[in-house]
């Protein structure tokens, strides 16, 4: 085939997805829109090459130009984050985090991370993840105010003496206490790994403090606030190298041959481009607007009587607490918002009264809509729409039985499909989207 249009089935589906993105408000905080340059690199001729190993030490021939690209990505990561070592080969955040375990721990070693329903990540030791099954996982939590309970974390670390402590989150709306966790790790002799996947763009944009002087190891995905392709980076700080002079080499071996085969060279090139973009003043301005928008959205929701975990945000995301409407309402709100073209994800909240499948919260954020150029004025209008949809959809109750749940959701979907407020809200969302066009000069 010469053109993707020659495959009408795939082309048609992709065209529908492009239109969905253009006419929807993407508000899942782990999603963003890359630049056209990043997308072109991701779909480039570099997808054809195999490159097991590292620059200058490959197992295949013909890698002289791949070496140049990977070294460029590494140099840009080291410069942007001010670290002495970076590995740009991880396929995504989960393999990057697992490589950290391979480099620092042995099976059955004790590790610590933020509890999943308190905002933590699966790979920080949650029981359904391999990281919670291979290692002895001890979870710390947040206080009733929604902030990390540092005293509890210190007590647990002293008691259990973990080999590795994670500071990082996937649904935590406040600034991360890197300094305090560095002190805890030093007190119990643990490695400290900072997972900044959600906030790396905010860090390089100087709107969130950096963990570089506090953590031994730093991991990040590249597709969230960093606005790059779907990949990841592992970095080691000066502090980490002083702690273990072989740490960088251990991580290299953990990624290859430990966990992965050939790197995705097309993604490596796209990461290099994204890192260059993130080094500009324009990107710093963008990062500031992400946070300004998140705060404005929080103000709008609170004004419309919607509860937020921790009563606000310091970063790019918000976590809506739906328990004032009852338990397990997240699925209703997510699906109703999807119908009006606002994409969010149902999410557990601290002290979750329901289950991860039917949680009592909704997670949303501002990176993607900020990429489109939206500002505080739009956040006020979007917050009003979201609050209205919550009040409509949260009237529905979630039964206990499995069959009863499915029946209730079916009835809910039928009701929402004909609801006049859903229809009018959809029109308002489309109007907002059209004022901030997405990829106006791009066709599939």
Residue tagged active-site, from 230, 243, 381, 391: 230
Cβ count within 10 A of residue 280: 11
H/E run at residue 57? strand 57-58
Residue tagged active-site, from 123, 131, 219, 221: 221
- Asked if 122 and 195 touch (Cβ cutoff 8 Å), the reply is no
- Six token digits for residue 394: 């949260």
Residue tagged active-site, from 5, 40, 52, 209: 52
Residue tagged active-site, from 49, 50, 327, 343: 50
Residue tagged active-site, from 224, 227, 295, 372: 224
- Asked if 240 and 215 touch (Cβ cutoff 8 Å), the reply is yes
User: Phi-psi bin for 168: left (phi > 0), alpha (psi -120 to 50), beta?
Assistant: left
286 is catalytic: no
| CA dihedral over 240, 241, 244, 246, signed as positive or negative | positive
Q: Identify which of 302, 305, 332 has the alpha carbon closest to the alpha carbon of residue 419.
A: 332
221 is catalytic: yes
Q: Please report the beta strands in 152-250, taking only residues with DSSP state E, as ranges in sequence order.
A: 164-168, 191-195, 217-221, 232-236
3-state secondary structure of 114: strand
Helical spans, DSSP H, in 244-309? 247-253, 265-278, 281-303
Residues of 88-109 as b/e, b for ≥16 C-beta within 10 angstroms? bbbbbbbbbbbbbbebbbeeee
Q: Give the contacts of 438 (CB within 8 A, at least 6 positions apart).
A: 21, 22, 33, 372
Largest CA distance in the chain: 64
54 is catalytic: no
70 is catalytic: no
Q: Please report the beta strands in 338-393, taking only residues with DSSP state E, as ranges in sequence order.
A: 342-343, 345-347, 361-365
Q: Identify which of 227, 245, 252 has the alpha carbon closest to the alpha carbon of residue 35.
A: 227
Q: Please report the beta strands in 304-396, taking only residues with DSSP state E, as ranges in sequence order.
A: 307-308, 317-321, 342-343, 345-347, 361-365
Give the whole-angstrom CA distance, residue 102 versus residue 125: 14
Residue tagged active-site, from 26, 118, 149, 195: 195
Give the whole-angstrom CA distance, residue 336 versus residue 333: 5
52 is catalytic: yes
3-state secondary structure of 248: helix
123 is catalytic: no
- Six token digits for residue 436: 């901030």
- Known catalytic residues are 50, 52, 195, 221, 224, 230
């Amino acid at each position: 085939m010469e053109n993707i249009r020659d495959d009408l089935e795939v082309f048609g589906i992709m065209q529908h997805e492009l239109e969905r993105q253009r006419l929807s408000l993407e508000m899942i905080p782990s999603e963003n829109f890359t630049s056209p340059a990043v997308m072109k690199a991701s779909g480039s001729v570099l997808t054809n090459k195999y490159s097991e190993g590292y620059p200058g030490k490959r197992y295949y021939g013909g890698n002289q130009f791949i070496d140049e690209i990977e070294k460029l990505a590494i140099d840009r990561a080291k410069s942007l984050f001010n670290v002495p070592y970076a590995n740009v080969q991880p396929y995504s955040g989960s393999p990057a985090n697992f490589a950290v375990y391979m480099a620092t721990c042995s099976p059955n070693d004790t590790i610590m991370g933020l509890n999943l329903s308190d905002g933590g990540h699966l790979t920080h030791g949650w029981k359904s993840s391999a990281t919670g099954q291979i290692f002895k996982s001890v979870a710390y939590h947040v206080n009733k105010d929604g902030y990390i309970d540092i005293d509890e974390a210190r007590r647990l670390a002293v008691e259990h003496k973990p080999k590795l402590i994670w500071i990082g989150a996937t649904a935590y709306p406040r600034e991360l206490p890197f300094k305090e966790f560095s002190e805890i790790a030093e007190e119990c002799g643990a490695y400290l790994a900072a997972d900044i996947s959600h906030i790396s763009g905010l860090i390089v944009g100087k709107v969130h403090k950096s963990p570089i002087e506090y953590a031994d190891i730093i991991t990040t995905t590249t597709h969230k606030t960093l606005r790059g392709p779907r990949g990841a980076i592992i970095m080691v700080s000066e502090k980490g190298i002083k702690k273990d002079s072989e740490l960088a080499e251990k991580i290299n071996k953990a990624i290859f041959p430990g966990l992965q085969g050939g790197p995705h060279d097309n993604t490596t090139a796209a990461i290099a481009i994204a890192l260059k973009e993130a080094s500009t003043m324009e990107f710093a301005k963008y990062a500031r607007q992400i946070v300004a928008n998140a705060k404005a959205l929080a103000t709008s929701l609170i004004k419309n009587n919607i509860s937020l975990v921790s009563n606000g945000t310091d970063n790019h995301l918000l976590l809506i607490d739906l328990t004032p409407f009852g338990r397990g309402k997240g699925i209703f709100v997510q699906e109703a918002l999807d119908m009006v073209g606002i994409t969010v994800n149902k999410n557990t909240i601290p002290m979750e009264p329901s289950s991860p499948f039917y949680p009592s919260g909704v997670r949303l954020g501002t990176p993607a809509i900020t990429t489109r150029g939206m500002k505080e004025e739009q956040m006020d209008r979007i917050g009003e729409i979201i609050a209205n949809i919550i009040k409509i959809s949260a009237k529905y109750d979630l039964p206990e039985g499995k069959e009863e749940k499915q029946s209730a959701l079916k009835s809910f979907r039928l009701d929402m499909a004909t609801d006049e407020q859903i229809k009018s809200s959809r029109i308002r969302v489309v109007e907002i989207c059209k004022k901030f066009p997405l990829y106006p000069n791009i066709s599939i």
